[in-house]
Amino acid sequence: MTNGKWKMTDGMNFWTNKVVMITGASSGIGKGLALELARRGAKRGLVARRQNLLDEIVNSVRLRGVKAFAIAADVRDADAMKGAAERIQAELGPIDILIANAGIGTSHHISQLDPIHAANVISINVLGAANSVAAVVSQMVERGKGQLVAISSLAAYRGLPLSAAYCASKAAMSAYFESVRLDLRGTGVGVTIIHPGFIKTPLTAGREAHMPFLMELDDAVQKIVSAIEKGKRSVAFPWQLATVVRAGLWMPAFMYDWLAAHNSFRE
């Protein structure tokens, strides 16, 4: 890896034999990435709590001869994440790429948001990602190469109605990984922060509220894979929603409040 970008080797694609640890791989985006990266020849360590779902994914790609390893672990448990990373390294080799994807959504009016629920969202979405980074970063720095990928959200940019805990968690996640990137300058370890809009996964399934520019899972997975390959520092998609959200950053609070209140994406 040079300047945060991997060198391509003749005859091999970027992913061939790369060892990728994916958290939240049992469902949605994580599962989509696990299957796509299998197709591209990466060795994958899959982490989530539901072992049975992880095993199904491992078995489905094992038939194609691509190595994968499933570990049931809760991202909130720092020791379990360290143990998971060590087992992946023992089974598949040193971890080249971490995709910190595990996360939960939430939709509550603040008057009904139980602080315990808010703490759980922050704990999984922020501390879980921090535990995932801690489990792999030292060995990446020692090797002088690696890539840390955060699956954040467009919800990181500004507050949204009915989403206090989720927006706070994704804003914290993006800031955390940005700080990590600054700390890792010159080490050969890159950081990529992904800010997706709405994607069709179990997390968004069943929502009645309008979700503008809702993306198919496969399209989102391709965008994430491409951003990792290019060593991008930060990406946001789909571009239409990302443009609106970025414009919101420059709006005065009274204007933003009016716009956000009239465009609630949660029921």
Ligand X SMILES: NC(=O)c1ccc[n+]([C@@H]2O[C@H](COP(=O)([O-])OP(=O)(O)OC[C@H]3O[C@@H](n4cnc5c(N)ncnc54)[C@H](OP(=O)(O)O)[C@@H]3O)[C@@H](O)[C@H]2O)c1
Residue 85's nearest CA partner among 137, 125, 38 is: 137
Question: In the 8-state DSSP scheme, what is residue 122?
Answer: H
For residue 4, state whether it binds ligand X (rule: CB under 6 A): no
Q: How far is the CB of 216 from ligand X (least distance, A)?
A: 11
Give me the 109-128 binding string for ligand X, x by CB under 6 A, dash otherwise: ---------------x---x
For residue 212, state whether it binds ligand X (rule: CB under 6 A): no
Size of the site for ligand X (CB under 6 A): 31
For residue 190, state whether it binds ligand X (rule: CB under 6 A): no
Give me the 51-90 binding string for ligand X, x by CB under 6 A, dash otherwise: --x--------------------xxx--------------
Q: Given the structure tokens 């600054």, which residue do they identify?
A: 182
Spell out the alpha helix ranges (H) of the chain. 28-39, 51-62, 78-92, 115-122, 128-143, 164-183, 217-229, 239-249, 253-261
For residue 101, state whether it binds ligand X (rule: CB under 6 A): yes
Tell me whether residue 169 is exposed, middle or buried, using C-beta atoms within 10 angstroms of its C-beta: 0 to 12, 13 to 18, 19 or more: buried
Distances (CA, A) of 87 to 48, 69, 225: 14, 9, 24
Contact (CB, 8 A) for 266 and 163: yes
The reply to whether 166 belongs to the active site is yes
Contact (CB, 8 A) for 149 and 100: yes
- 150 versus 189: smaller Cβ distance to ligand X: 150
The one among 4, 146, 161, 196 contacting ligand X by CB under 6 A: 196
Instruction: Report the site for ligand X in 18-57 (rule: CB under 6 A).
Output: 23-30, 48-50, 53
For residue 192, state whether it binds ligand X (rule: CB under 6 A): no
Q: Contact positions toward ligand X, by CB under 6 A? A: 23-30, 48-50, 53, 74-76, 101-105, 124, 128, 151, 153, 196, 198-199, 201-204
- Which residues are catalytic, by number? 166
